[in-house]
Amino acid sequence: MRTDLRRLFGARPGQVLVMGILNVTPDSFSDGGRFTNTANILAQADRLIEEGADLLDIGGESSRPGAQPVPLADEINRVVTAIRAIRQKHLTPISVDTTKAEVARLALDEGADLINDISGLRFDPELAPLLRDRQVPVVIMHMQGSPGNMQQNPTYLDVVGEITTFLAKRIAWAESQGIAREQIIVDPGLGFGKSVAHNLTILKHLDRFRELGCPVLIGHSRKAFIGKLLALEVGDRDQATAILSGLCAMNGAAIIRVHDVAATVQAVKLVDALRNAPDQ
């Protein structure tokens, strides 16, 4: 077994991990095109790790609203190049953000430790058997629609209830395929087929997702709903992201996925200090 969640989280109960985002794509909404050669990729990985990232999340295909699929060979080349460069220098756990079994297989061969699937194991039927055989953790995320159409008209009667039901069904399905429940992380999918109001409701009731019995990952970093609420451009959203990171850490998130690791590490440390402060 390469990695399991017990080793990832360590022995300290309630530990919140910070996942640093490393998009090796030309078109991601926040940092597209910045990390497309080996030198820049490694420099960014160095920076994220120095700032305190507990793990890195590498994405070779943009999932921004309106994004279209990229050729398999392109995604493989981007992801494998990044992992090889990082693994020559760092042992930090690496997550790969992909829906494709072939990308996941080659990434794991190169030293990746977990798979982050925005489709919730729905898009590629070969991915679940691979994860079962390799015994690595997987993030199962909720998304209404696909990246190409998810923000056209997201609609729910009960956003938290519907997402919780979806994730519970996907957990059960994953278990039926031989994936151990102890290896599953859930993500309610902020911004993936959600309006501003939907995202706020999810954040307000984040503790509800803990009832699923799996660690909860939250990815709010620099997202459009922050910009709409505060009239901020993408490059100006890190302070608001860090504030939300602290609230997420307080309300049940186990992994917080962000671009600006340093500020979120500070937020998580403050939350940890508050939790461990004496009552008198």
Task: Indicate the pLDDT class of residue 276, thresholds 50, 70 and 90.
Answer: confident
Q: What is the residue type of 228?
A: K
Cα–Cα distance, 144 to 124 (Å, whole number): 17
Amino acid, single-letter form, for residue 214: C
What per-residue confidence (pLDDT) applies to 52? 96
Provide CB contacts within 8 A for 147, sequence distance 6+. Answer: 62, 63, 64, 65, 66, 67, 68, 118, 192
Q: What would the pLDDT profile of 200-247 be if each residue is shown by its tens digit?
A: 999 999 999 999 999 999 999 999 999 999 999 999 999 999 999 999
d(CA 198, CA 115): 26
pLDDT at 3: 59
For the chain, give every domain's residue range: 16-272
CA angle 96, 134, 163 (to 5 degrees): 55
CB under 8 A, 24+ apart: contacts of 29-36: 29/62, 29/64, 29/65, 29/222, 29/224, 29/234, 30/221, 30/222, 30/234, 30/235, 30/259, 31/259, 32/62, 35/82, 36/78
pLDDT, tens digit, 9 for 90 and up, residues 140-178: 999 997 777 877 888 999 999 999 999 999 999 999 999
pLDDT at position 10 is: 66
- pLDDT of 34 strictly over 70: no
**CB of 147 within 8 A of CB of 195?**
no
Tokens matching residue 192: 């993936």
> Rounded distance, CA 147 to CA 119, Å?
10
Structure tokens at 233: 């451009």
In this structure, which CATH number among 1.20.120.1200, 3.10.520.10, 3.20.20.20, 3.90.1150.10 belongs to the domain 16-272? 3.20.20.20
Instruction: For 267, list phi and psi in degrees, rounded to 5.
Output: -60, -45
Average pLDDT in the 117-121 region? 96
Q: What is the pLDDT of residue 1?
A: 40
Label residue 70 by pLDDT band (50, 70, 90): confident
7 is catalytic: no
- pLDDT at residue 253, as a whole number: 96
Sequence length of the chain is: 280
Q: Name the residue with higher pLDDT: 29 or 135.
A: 135
pLDDT score, position 219: 97
Please state the pTM of the whole predicted model: 0.92
Residue 89 annotated among the catalytic residues of the structure: no
Out of 222, 223, 237, 275, pick the active-site residue.
223
pLDDT in tens, 174-205: 999 999 999 999 999 999 999 999 999 999 99
Q: At residue 248, does pLDDT exceed 60?
A: yes
Indicate the SS3 state at residue 138: strand
Rounded (to 5) percent helix, strand, coil in the chain? 45, 10, 40
Closest CA to 38 of 71, 87, 108, 2: 87
pLDDT surpasses 80 at 8: no
pLDDT at 279: 87
Supply the pLDDT for residue 32.
Answer: 47
